[in-house]
Amino acid sequence: MIHFPPGRPTHCCIDHAALCWNLQQIRAKVGPRVKILSMVKANAYGHGAVAVAKTLLAAGGDALGVATLDEGIELRQSGIGAPILVVAGVYGDQLEQFFAHSLTPVIYDLSGLTELDAAVDKRGATIEIHLKIDTGMGRLGLRASELDSWLPRLNALKAVKIAGIFSHFSTAESVDGDYTKKQLEIFTSVVTRLRGAGMTSLFHFANSAATITQPAAYFDVVRPGIMLYGAYPSPAMAQQIALKPVLSWHTKILQLKKVPAGTSISYGQTFVTQRESLIATLPVGYADGYQRVLSNRGEALVRGKRAPVAGRVCMDLTMLDVTDIRNVQQGDEVVLLGRQGSGEISADEMAGWANTISYEIFTSIGARVPRIHINT
């Protein structure tokens, strides 16, 4: 039974029972020794960071990962005391906030490391960081191939304590894992070298895809993201772990209108009825994250049946052709993402219509779409 909010009916349901199930599948896969750092950046991939983080920690998660300082502060202000890693780094004017909220920054270059060490030493304090190594992503991080040049700099640090060292896979979701194997070999050699030099940091590498397919990448910590929310990094991985979708997206029919053949629907006359048609208007649009690229391409569920998007998605409204669905009524529930009856539309399917990935589908759902948390 879906409980609609008062007023505008467009909303998302966040199923915490499914969230716990997904975390339990990860724990079963990695075992009790490996820590789970749950990625809740970007408002927990659009699911609601505070509520999701609390559930994941209560269900056995060990730590949290966010992208920005503000995301970390939001979690702290909600009463969360678990370790929080801020993966997009620290800017010079943010140092006081990292201290005030006990957040752990990621450092990815020597200049940033040196500046942070001097600033923290000047105040007579210490700070724990995680150091990012570039093993082939080509994004942030110290180049693994330059280990000989930066290792002595690590040994010279006074106030910075390196609590963790990690890297990020570029193509772990690929069926062809050659590049993933190459990155793993590089990082393993770095780990061996640093442990041999006496470093006792936590080492971590595995994102969702590697958590599913690369046990050798677990090291001390895994960093699941998209899989927590019940989506797979690639469809083939559904055979290797059973996940449950956490988010569903619902609305109701705002108006039903019977129109004759030859009627233009929405902007630009991109859809013209070829027969007498029944058109349903929904109170959802691209300002809510229902992307404009879904115009004349997407589908939604009405009475368990699929109805195609008719015409262009508008900022606040979207039309469906429900001519072939029996007994449709104004006020009927419409499912944009999720199950209704025997029908289902997954984030991966919607992503296929939009030529994108499920990550973007989730994180694009706007703030004006309420998240209703169920089974908490």
CB 337 within 8 A of CB 15: no
Whole-number Å distance between alpha carbons of 321 and 94: 51
CB 364 within 8 A of CB 46: yes
* 29 included as an active-site residue: no
* 108 included as an active-site residue: no
Select from 12, 11, 28 the least CA-distant residue to 20. Answer: 28
Select from 128, 2, 14 the least CA-distant residue to 370. Answer: 14
Whole-number Å distance between alpha carbons of 372 and 365: 13
3-state DSSP assignment of residue 159: coil
Quote the DSSP letter at residue 309.
Answer: B
The contacts of residue 352 (CB under 8 Å, 6+ apart) are: none
> Considering 91, 182, 267, 359, which one is annotated as catalytic?
267
> Considering 35, 41, 54, 252, which one is annotated as catalytic?
41
Count of Cβ atoms closer than 10 Å to residue 33 Cβ = 7
The residue assigned the tokens 């994180």 is 363
3-state DSSP assignment of residue 281: strand
End-to-end CA separation in angstroms for the chain: 15
Whole-number Å distance between alpha carbons of 11 and 204: 36
Please report, for residues 95, 259, 272, 310, 345, the alpha-carbon distance to residue 297 in angstroms, rounded to integers and kept in the order given. 47, 21, 14, 8, 13
CB 314 within 8 A of CB 306: no
Whole-number Å distance between alpha carbons of 205 and 137: 12
Whole-number Å distance between alpha carbons of 310 and 299: 9
Please report, for residues 147, 209, 225, the alpha-carbon distance to residue 168 in angstroms, rounded to integers and kept in the order given. 17, 11, 13
Active-site positions read: 41, 267
